[in-house]
């Protein structure tokens, strides 16, 4: 049993969106659920090739991701999307449009993201080599009323992923899981 839903992971670069998505995906697949992961970087190299990091282009990118999410959600798929999606207004717009939409704020202090510097981008952004870098030289608007917050500097990956799975059960998107023995 499953209902279509978009699980929208938003947060700074290095906050843990992809890591959570990559862990959540096999966990839901093992339950026999129908899923589609939509990674922001993958979308940028395919569906949104050529777009810049201006506010206008970022909003276009997020709306495109949202459009795909909407189609899949309508057809009963659980979509897991990880994109910085820094602007509140467009996230709210998508939530209203898609309906079955869970906003997950992947929260991590910028100092910790800089410390992690998973892709080496912060170092370059701080050196002024990457313009319009979210959190350094471009805004990130925190969700005001997210459905779930994962504090990735305080909790384990398993705790973050479990919060999402539990929420899916509580909201009736998936059936309660039999305990694995």
Footprint of ligand ADP on this chain (CB under 6 A)?
Answer: 11, 13-20, 82, 106, 116, 118, 152, 155-157, 160
Task: Give the angle 106-108-12 at the CA atoms, nearest 5°.
Answer: 65
- 137 catalytically annotated: no
Backbone angles phi, psi at 34, to 5 degrees: -90, 115
Of 79, 3, 84, nearest in space to 38 by CA:
79
- We find the least distance from the C-beta atom of residue 105 to ligand ADP, in angstroms, to be 11
Per DSSP, the three-state class of 120 is coil
Q: Which of 5, 21 has the CB closer to ligand ADP? A: 21
Give the C-alpha distances (Å, rounded to integers) separating 73 from 37, 49, 123, 139, 161: 12, 24, 37, 29, 20
- The minimum distance between CB 58 and ligand ADP, in angstroms, equals 15
In the DSSP assignment, the letter for residue 177 is P
Catalytic, out of 13, 48, 82, 85: 85
Question: To the nearest whole angstrom, how small is the minimum distance from the Cβ of residue 170 to ligand ADP?
Answer: 21
d(CA 30, CA 71): 24
Residue 34 or 142 with smaller CB distance to ligand ADP: 142
Rounded to the nearest whole angstrom, what is the least distance from the CB of residue 50 to ligand ADP in the complex?
Answer: 21
Give the DSSP H or E segment for 98. Answer: helix 88-98
Cβ closest to ligand ADP, residue 2 vs residue 134 = 134
**13 SS3 class:** coil
Query: How many other C-beta atoms can be found within 10 angstroms of the C-beta atom of residue 128?
Result: 10
Nearer to ligand ADP, 17 or 58 (CB): 17
Using CB atoms, what's the residue nearest to ligand ADP?
Answer: 16
Q: List residues with catalytic annotation.
A: 85
């Amino acid at each position: 049993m499953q209902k279509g839903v978009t699980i929208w992971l938003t947060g700074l670069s290095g906050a843990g969106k992809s890591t959570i998505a990559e862990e959540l995906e096999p966990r839901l697949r093992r339950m026999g659920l129908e899923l589609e992961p939509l990674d922001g970087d993958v979308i940028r190299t395919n569906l949104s090739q050529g777009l810049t990091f201006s506010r206008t282009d970022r909003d276009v990118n997020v709306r495109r991701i949202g459009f795909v999410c909407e189609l899949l959600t309508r057809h009963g798929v659980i979509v897991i999307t990880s994109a910085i999606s820094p602007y509140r207004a467009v996230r709210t717009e998508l939530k209203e449009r898609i309906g079955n939409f869970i906003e997950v704020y992947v929260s991590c202090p910028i100092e910790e993201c800089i410390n992690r510097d998973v892709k080496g981008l912060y170092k370059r952004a701080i050196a002024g080599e990457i313009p319009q870098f979210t959190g350094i030289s471009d805004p990130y608007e925190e969700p005001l009323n997210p459905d779930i917050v994962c504090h990735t500097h305080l909790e384990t990956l398993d705790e973050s992923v479990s919060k999402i799975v539990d929420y899916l059960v509580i909201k009736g998107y998936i059936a309660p899981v039999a305990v694995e023995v």
